A and B are shown apart, each in its own frame.
Chain A
């Protein structure tokens, strides 16, 4: 009988848990931001969001995805704000009426990473398109994100600039892994491959081993971030006031200063440029 009573007590405990649990989960004054793996993997949000919360009391819940997927999350109405980095895709999002207005926030740049030994011999090249051409011609192992992310879009632009139709013209040396930036860097590290990365994720990445930056500084490697409120006219559940407060903070002098102040080992990761309307 004791066992039966224990069993009943256990059931009661479970039932209470089931009732109490949802309440513990409840949180007020929060927004969902669909953003990119680069803003999360670079550590920017860990630094920025507590500052924003202190100022406004708003909790920001970040879903880190590739830019294409993050915009899709916005299209379904599952996010209040999208914060991504592929201007062409962002403008398409706006033209579909999915976003209210795009605000440029900050930039950094893409860097071409490869093993120290640099079997392709591209180190220090100033022309990134030429470097991509060499990788292609020498069939060097290359890791592509392959996930419609901002970095993937940039990589496809660079192949095009090199005069290569990578969708048709690639062999087993070109590996599209369909995963985030960190996973792509891990794969490159483990297989002595070349890979395109945003600088923020690269600086924050801890498993560099014998990978290093080989090509950087070409104007075509510019990486612009923009932020948009998901259109409440299309998705009535969007928290437009709270979402707009987040956007206003990012482009405000205070938010821009906070972004500029985020550094790792003295290296600045992102450069604010909300004041440049053409960005």
Chain B
């Protein structure tokens, strides 16, 4: 019972170490989602709107990569960034930047695959109109991304969910260093290994609450946006 209380106390007293961990978790995951979105949304839209040989294979691969195991992505980034790896001279292993890279690799296929589907569905509605206006491909991509923006929020949230929840990749490339690369999920893994299960569960509840809050904010923003746009 004591330890149950201590998790609650940590939260209520806004423990500085806990705040730092929460901040780092959000910073890493949101930056990763941003990076992944910059690549994934245009890529998904482009695949949706163009026809080329092997397109079906690309779509299937993209959909399959949504299930890329975090530990595999983490290992690949680890080997690349290790001092003995090809990018070792960057000195990024065991830093938050390495964690951002690993999570962006995990999240980009999710955002790309969902964007592809969203934009393709919209394209079916718009096809005749845009074809009649004889709009260039790049402009078509931009137009449809803009018109699908509210639906694309869901793709970003799915990506954020993946990033915020995963531990396998960031514990390998970040090293779970106290005060430097320790996030909510790696802290939960550590407290579990110390046998402090109540604190681990307490941290887990904090993580879930934060994810719900982010989703609520995104939902609110989407509703407000739709009202203005509508």
Q: How far is the CB of B47 from chain A (nearest CB, A)?
A: 22
Considering the complex, give the chain A residue whose CB is closest to the CB of B3: A206
Q: From DSSP, what is the main secondary structure of chain A's interface residues?
A: helix
Whether A2 pairs with B83 at a CB distance below 8 angstroms is no
CB within 8 Å of A: which B146-185 residues: 149, 175-178, 180-181
Tell me the bound Cα distance from A40 to B182 in angstroms: 13
Q: A271 an interface residue at 8 Å Cβ cutoff? A: no
CB within 8 Å of A: which B24-57 residues: 27, 30-31, 34-35
Interface size class of B (residues with CB under 8 A): 35 or more
Q: How far is the CB of B26 from chain A (nearest CB, A)?
A: 10
Whether A208 pairs with B195 at a CB distance below 8 angstroms is yes
Q: A118 an interface residue at 8 Å Cβ cutoff? A: no
Convert B75-104 into 0s and 1s, putting 1 for each residue whose CB lies closer than 8 angstroms to a CB of A.
000000011110010010111110010000
A17 neighbours in B (Cβ, 8 Å): 27, 30-31, 34
B94 neighbours in A (Cβ, 8 Å): 32, 61, 63, 78
A41 neighbours in B (Cβ, 8 Å): 193-194
Most chain-B CB neighbours within 10 Å: which of A6, A180, A206? A206
B67 neighbours in A (Cβ, 8 Å): none
A237 neighbours in B (Cβ, 8 Å): 83, 88, 91
Considering the complex, give the chain B residue whose CB is closest to the CB of A181: B193
Tell me the bound Cα distance from A204 to B228 in angstroms: 57
> Known contacts A14-B34, A27-B180, A207-B197; is A78 also within 8 Å of B93 by CB?
yes
CB within 8 Å of B: which A192-221 residues: 204-208
A32 neighbours in B (Cβ, 8 Å): 94, 175, 177
Q: A167 an interface residue at 8 Å Cβ cutoff? A: no
Q: A3 an interface residue at 8 Å Cβ cutoff? A: yes
Q: How far is the CB of B194 from chain A (nearest CB, A)?
A: 5
B30 neighbours in A (Cβ, 8 Å): 17
A76 neighbours in B (Cβ, 8 Å): 82-85
Q: B192 an interface residue at 8 Å Cβ cutoff? A: yes
Q: A269 an interface residue at 8 Å Cβ cutoff? A: no
Tell me the bound Cα distance from A35 to B3 in angstroms: 28
Whether A18 pairs with B178 at a CB distance below 8 angstroms is no
B229 neighbours in A (Cβ, 8 Å): 3
Q: Which of A6, A24, A49, A179 contacts B225 (CB 8 A)?
A: A6
6 contacts between A and B (CB under 8 A): A3-B225, A14-B34, A17-B31, A61-B175, A61-B177, A237-B91
Chain A residues with CB under 8 Å of chain B are 2-3, 6-7, 14, 17-18, 21-22, 24-25, 27, 32, 37, 40-41, 45-46, 49, 59, 61-64, 76-78, 179-183, 185-186, 189, 204-208, 235, 237
Q: Given contacts A7-B149, A64-B176, A76-B82, could you give 9 more A-B pairs where the C-beta distance is less than 8 Å?
A: A17-B27, A25-B96, A59-B180, A61-B94, A78-B84, A78-B94, A185-B195, A206-B196, A237-B88
